[in-house]
Structure 1
Amino acid sequence: MNDSTKTIASLLDRLMAVRQFSAKIVDPLETEDFVIQTMPDVSPTKWHLAHTTWFFEQFILKPSMPGYRVFHPQFSFLFNSYYNAVGERHPRMQRGVLSRPTVREVLEYRTYVDQALEDFLQQPPSNEVGDLIEIGINHEQQHQELMLTDIKHVLSCNPLRPAYRVNLNEFKASETAPLIWISFAGGITEIGVEGDGFHFDNESPRHEVLNRDFELASRLTTNGEYLQFVESDGYQNPSLWLSEGWDQVQACHWKAPLYWERIDGEWQEFTLGGMRPLDPHAPVTHVSYFEADAFARWSNCRLATEAEWETVGQIESVAQSNSFVGNFAEDDFLHPIAWHPEAQKSGQTASGIHQFYGDVWEWTASPYVAYPGYQPAPGAIGEYNGKFMSSQWVLKGGSCATSRTHIRPSYRNFFHPDKRWQFTGIRLAR
């Protein structure tokens, strides 16, 4: 087997492994679960499966595989997400009304496209097509995380509070590990993607930033710590909130993080494993940027900037040889777990920082904007990141629903500041 053949075999193996992981994610679902859309941010599981398949059909097979015939001529309209250059699309808010195509037809669509991809990759693709396949692999990993967070929201809206899976792993620490402040020297450093590995266009170019001396909390903020904020009337004190955040609290009647419920005087939390007593030692999650910012202000602290976070993230990346210690989707908790020396995944860190990767996406104090000299990718793929650089905030580090192979220090997630349905959490800085 020559080098070219080895490269193609590796690419095909990784592609099919990711496609199969999507099938593993949806395996516990009943057919009825696949079709529900509970809010505009949530897409039905069936739509995610079809959209990620359409991506490979639209950008790989149609333009590059001679004689390829599309599975269904209207699927491009139904399952295009936001690529204006590709054509018209079904409205996002109405994805839940699509009873047809059926789940069975969508699964047949995936099989059809997978077989075509296997046939196509019997020969080395061009470098350009190979790059598009890498984007497709990472794109599907993003939607795998969305499938998990979206189905969690769907199930949470059911009065039965059904579990996605009852056999998920669990870990409970006997106490909360002490919070230690870790100091980092300021100065000029570089952030942004480094090296030749895969990255999205919004991670480049690498550029200089200036940090002042700063400190980060050694671990994530816990449920128990956030509960103190709740019980001290944090949601009733407008002086703690940004103006838009206070408006959101009032309009949506926020009293606690999403999925917290007070039942018979005790706080419980809806998880992908069903309702559970609130674990005071585990990281708080499903909080908006507004809530993270208000909690930090209540704590006489702040959130880290993107540059501060990534400066430390690069230290940890080198120390861990890019094989990140943390709680990721493959670990099968699908919920943040407490950090404690007794936790098997505590690991050794270079800086004394724990839970830096996995568990929860960490809100930063930085708006999602272009790096100096940023250029979006050419063509329709250029709509992937750049056009969303408005009114959103950067999150770093990945979550318990992120694949371990998907994350890196330069990775830039982004959401509007009121969003809570993702596994988002807090690390304090000062």
Structure 2
Amino acid sequence: MPLDLPTAQNSASVLETFARVRGDSEALAKPLSPEDCMIQSMEAASPAKWHLAHTSWFFETFILVPNAKDYSPFHPDFGYLFNSYYNQIGEMHQRGKRGMLSRPSLQDVLSYRSFVNDALIRLVEDADEKTFAAIEPLILLGCSHEQQHQELLLTDLQHGLFQNAMKPAIYKDAREGEGGGAPLKWREMEGGVCNIGWNGDGFAFDNEQPRHKVYLHPFELANRPVTNGEFIEFIEDGGYQAPVHWLSDAWEVINQDLWTAPLYWRKSETDNKWYRYSLFGEVEIDPHAPVCHVSSYEAAAYASWIGARLPTEFEWEAAASLFPLEGRFLKGGAPFLPKPASNPENDDRLLQLFGDVWEWTASPYVAYPGFAVPPGAVGEYNGKFMSGQMVLKGGSCATPEGHIRVSYRNFFPPEARWQFSGFRLARDCN
């Protein structure tokens, strides 16, 4: 799949990308009521309205204010309300209280988006060659940043609506591409010296760089992610009650928060079937689809139970680089559910490396050798989070199409599970 974010191209191409990304965000929000857009169910999540405003704040703060002559911000308070964590920019509204912002209204936020859109288009159209060369990388960063927030809008919204006993359905599920499931197989990887990190001419985040070499011992990688049905076996075998499989911190979390299954799951006492809440309402769990909404802790516990382990991010990337970047992603404001793998008989491919579910790895999120934080406030984007997080790879069904690269590094705390996160197994070669 080609990367959708162009670079070193003309202004028309950049504006086309900008318009598409901005339109996709509003398409995701279109089915939502103003009340839906205010929900904040936990500090780690943000209201949909805030996501729509913050992504506009990003373009305004880092591109329009420094570069557009006579530009005046849309509202004097928005810089405070919609800053996320850029301390060099100034003070910001408390993260855990974003759901208290009944004002500005949703309509005001949409007007803000329109105002920023018009100003950026004028800036690009009027820019000379030197100015365009300076702002183009920031526009592409802003577009990729907004795509990240499109996924966050969906995951945060799902967590918020899960608190509602009505279990509302927001979107219609497009179910094309159903698969019947694929048997678990192992593919041996030779290991050796591998190149890791971004090595291309297009856009990439700073945390994917610099490209460097790592040595990998021979290993085996499962041909697909762990499925719901397989994870149910772990549950029914008492996996959540067996401390031998859990890290110390994990055991404390699952007992404190009373985890007995992945997030959004419940077992019906009426028909003895498993169900989970989704943005399409409550759905029966497909045993062949990848398990989703599990933490790194749960992934590692399952791997221990089955006698395997999680791959490192380097093992995952080395293996994934051998296959096309194809998968089930978010398309133009139309979300999906993770679906079963479909595998022709005797096929030795690695399936669902991209899309469907993010895959937890065993790697902590740390800097690559030679990494340097970019200067200025924009340098706060990734580098300052390189502590206490684990790396996920591959994207999910809520990740915008064209957003992912083999080198892409997502990261969340090991206890996080409201993202579309799953995992596949690895093991050492004997």
With normalisation by structure 1, the TM-score equals 0.94
Q: Secondary structure at the match of 1:373?
A: coil
Contact 1:314 1:409 in 2 (8 A): yes
Offset of residue 170 of structure 1: 5.7
Residue 366 (structure 2) pairs with residue 369 (structure 1) = yes
Question: Cα 1:358–1:244, aligned 2, differ >3 Å: closer, same or farther?
Answer: same
Question: Cα 1:384–1:218, aligned 2, differ >3 Å: closer, same or farther?
Answer: same
Question: Cα 1:109–1:190, aligned 2, differ >3 Å: closer, same or farther?
Answer: same
Task: Tell me the distance in 2 between the aligned counterparts of 1:404 and 1:30.
Answer: 25
Residue 162 (structure 2) pairs with residue 156 (structure 1) = yes
Instruction: Give the structure 2 partner of residue 26 of structure 1.
Output: 29
Instruction: Give the structure 1 partner of residue 388 of structure 2.
Output: 391
Amino acid of the structure 1 residue aligned with 2:287: P
Residue 89 (structure 2) pairs with residue 82 (structure 1) = no
Amino acid of the structure 1 residue aligned with 2:77: Q
Instruction: Give the structure 1 partner of residue 326 of structure 2.
Output: 325
Contact 2:173 2:336 in 1 (8 A): no
Gap regions ≥5 residues in structure 1: none
Q: Secondary structure at the match of 2:411?
A: strand
Residue 333 (structure 2) pairs with residue 336 (structure 1) = no
State the structure with bigger RCO (CA 8 A, min sep 6), 1 or 2.
2
**Aligned residues, how many?**
415
Offset of residue 5 of structure 1: 11
Instruction: Give the structure 2 partner of residue 210 of structure 1.
Output: 215
Q: Deviations over 1:145-180 (max 9, x none)?
A: 000111111111100000111344366544x31111
Q: Secondary structure at the match of 1:406?
A: coil
Match of 2:100 among 59, 79, 97: 97
Contact 1:172 1:279 in 2 (8 A): no
Task: Tell me the distance in 2 between the aligned counterparts of 1:305 and 1:148.
Answer: 27
1:210-229 correspondence runs (5 A): 210-229=215-234
Contact 2:173 2:337 in 1 (8 A): no
Match of 2:175 among 158, 169, 172: 169
Larger displacement relative to structure 2 (161-170 or 390-399) = 161-170
Amino acid of the structure 2 residue aligned with 1:249: I
Contact 1:358 1:399 in 2 (8 A): yes
Task: Tell me the distance in 1 between the aligned counterparts of 2:351 and 2:292.
Answer: 16
Task: Tell me the distance in 2 between the aligned counterparts of 1:249 and 1:132.
Answer: 41
Instruction: Give the structure 2 partner of residue 198 of structure 1.
Output: 203
Offset of residue 126 of structure 1: 3.5
Task: Tell me the distance in 1 between the aligned counterparts of 2:230 and 2:142.
Answer: 39
Residue 285 (structure 2) pairs with residue 284 (structure 1) = no
Task: Tell me the distance in 1 between the aligned counterparts of 2:173 and 2:390.
Answer: 34
Contact 1:37 1:43 in 2 (8 A): yes
Contact 1:29 1:164 in 2 (8 A): yes
Contact 1:8 1:123 in 2 (8 A): no
Amino acid of the structure 2 residue aligned with 1:329: L
Contact 1:145 1:402 in 2 (8 A): yes
Task: Tell me the distance in 1 between the aligned counterparts of 2:10 and 2:178.
Answer: 42
Q: Secondary structure at the match of 1:131?
A: helix
Instruction: Give the structure 1 partner of residue 246 of structure 2.
Output: 241
Match of 1:404 among 389, 401, 412: 401
With normalisation by structure 2, the TM-score equals 0.94
Amino acid of the structure 2 residue aligned with 1:377: P
Instruction: Give the structure 1 partner of residue 3 of structure 2.
Output: none
Question: Cα 1:357–1:129, aligned 2, differ >3 Å: closer, same or farther?
Answer: same
Task: Tell me the distance in 2 between the aligned counterparts of 1:414 and 1:167.
Answer: 27
Instruction: Give the structure 1 partner of residue 314 of structure 2.
Output: 307
Match of 1:46 among 24, 45, 49: 49
Question: Cα 1:31–1:170, aligned 2, differ >3 Å: closer, same or farther?
Answer: farther
Instruction: Give the structure 2 partner of residue 272 of structure 1.
Output: 279
Contact 1:28 1:164 in 2 (8 A): yes
Q: Deviations over 1:305-336 (max 9, x none)?
A: 011011112222xxx3xxx2111011845211
Task: Tell me the distance in 2 between the aligned counterparts of 1:220 and 1:289.
Answer: 14
Contact 1:169 1:333 in 2 (8 A): no
Offset of residue 123 of structure 1: 3.1
Task: Tell me the distance in 2 between the aligned counterparts of 1:378 and 1:130.
Answer: 17
Task: Tell me the distance in 2 between the aligned counterparts of 1:128 and 1:313.
Answer: 33
Contact 2:124 2:132 in 1 (8 A): no
Amino acid of the structure 1 residue aligned with 2:305: W
Gap regions ≥5 residues in structure 2: 1-6
Task: Tell me the distance in 1 between the aligned counterparts of 2:72 and 2:175.
Answer: 43
Offset of residue 88 of structure 1: 0.1
Contact 2:43 2:96 in 1 (8 A): yes
RMSD: 1.8
Contact 2:359 2:422 in 1 (8 A): yes
Contact 1:306 1:394 in 2 (8 A): yes
Instruction: Give the structure 2 partner of residue 138 of structure 1.
Output: 144
Task: Tell me the distance in 2 between the aligned counterparts of 1:172 and 1:250.
Answer: 36
Instruction: Give the structure 1 partner of residue 4 of structure 2.
Output: none
Question: Cα 1:429–1:26, aligned 2, differ >3 Å: closer, same or farther?
Answer: same
Q: Secondary structure at the match of 2:91?
A: coil
Instruction: Give the structure 1 partner of residue 187 of structure 2.
Output: 182
Larger displacement relative to structure 2 (359-368 or 257-266) = 257-266
Match of 1:231 among 230, 236, 248: 236
Instruction: Give the structure 1 partner of residue 110 of structure 2.
Output: 107
Task: Tell me the distance in 2 between the aligned counterparts of 1:24 and 1:300.
Answer: 44
Instruction: Give the structure 2 partner of residue 62 of structure 1.
Output: 65
Contact 2:173 2:335 in 1 (8 A): no
Larger displacement relative to structure 2 (356-365 or 330-339) = 330-339
